[in-house]
């Protein structure tokens, strides 16, 4: 869908069009790799928090059953590339936030609440849009 058409549709309907996932076109009949699946999931994950600021690249995905990754890249006022990666580790006693510089912290308050909501939204949308599963039952969607 062209950008002009998307913008026109958005103006007419009043809502931004739902982005379609960018499935690799060069290998439609081959199995996707785990990296490609994570990329598809991350497209969903990055959209959960609203529009990504211009010039930013955002990744948010479930790496494995114990780990979630937030990665953001942008350029500062001088045009220098910046990036930050945050790893959220799911432990029995809480969610540990790990950032560069050996910063570790169990998250709480709004940050914990927002992450929990984001994980549920991610699960619901990834189940439907990437894996074509019913999030309530895990059954394949018709």
Partner 1 sequence: MPLEDTPNFLQENTEPQPFKWIEDAGFDLHKSKLPSMDQVRAMTNAALDAAATSQPEAHTTIDTPDVFAPQPLPVEIIDFRQLSEKELSARIEGFRQDLLEGKTQDDFRLAA
Q: Is 137 in the site for partner 1 (CB under 8 A)?
A: yes
Q: Which is nearer to partner 1, 31 or 78 (CB)?
A: 31
Closest CA to 21 of 34, 5, 36: 36
Q: Is 48 in the site for partner 1 (CB under 8 A)?
A: no
- Contact predicate 52/58, CB 8 Å: yes
Q: Minimum distance from CB of 25 to partner 1 (Å)?
A: 9
Interface residue with partner 1 among 9, 37, 48, 69 (CB under 8 A) is 37
Cα dist. 127→69, 79, 116, 122 in Å?
Answer: 18, 37, 16, 8
A 10 A CB-CB count for 85 gives 13
Q: Which is nearer to partner 1, 24 or 51 (CB)?
A: 24
- Contact predicate 60/52, CB 8 Å: no
Of 46-54, 76-84, 98-106, 113-121, which part binds partner 1 (CB under 8 A)? 113-121
Interface residue with partner 1 among 5, 104, 106, 123 (CB under 8 A) is 123
44: which residues sit within 8 A by CB, 6+ positions away?
21, 122, 125, 126, 129, 130
Residues that bind partner 1 (CB under 8 A): 23, 28-29, 31-34, 37, 41, 62, 64-68, 90, 95, 115-116, 119-120, 122-124, 126-127, 130-133, 135-140
């Amino acid at each position: 869908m062209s950008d002009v058409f998307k913008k026109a549709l958005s103006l007419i309907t009043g809502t931004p069009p739902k982005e379609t996932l960018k499935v690799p076109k060069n290998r439609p009949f081959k199995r996707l790799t785990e990296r490609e699946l994570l990329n598809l999931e991350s497209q969903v994950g990055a959209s959960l928090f609203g529009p990504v600021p211009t010039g930013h690249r955002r990744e948010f995905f479930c790496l494995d059953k114990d780990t979630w990754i937030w990665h953001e890249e942008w350029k500062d006022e001088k045009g220098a590339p910046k990036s930050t990666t945050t790893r959220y580790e799911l432990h029995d006693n809480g969610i540990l936030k790990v950032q560069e510089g050996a910063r570790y912290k169990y998250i709480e308050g709004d940050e914990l609440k927002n992450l929990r909501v984001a994980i549920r939204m991610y699960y619901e949308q990834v189940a439907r849009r990437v894996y074509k599963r019913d999030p309530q039952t895990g059954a394949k969607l018709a």
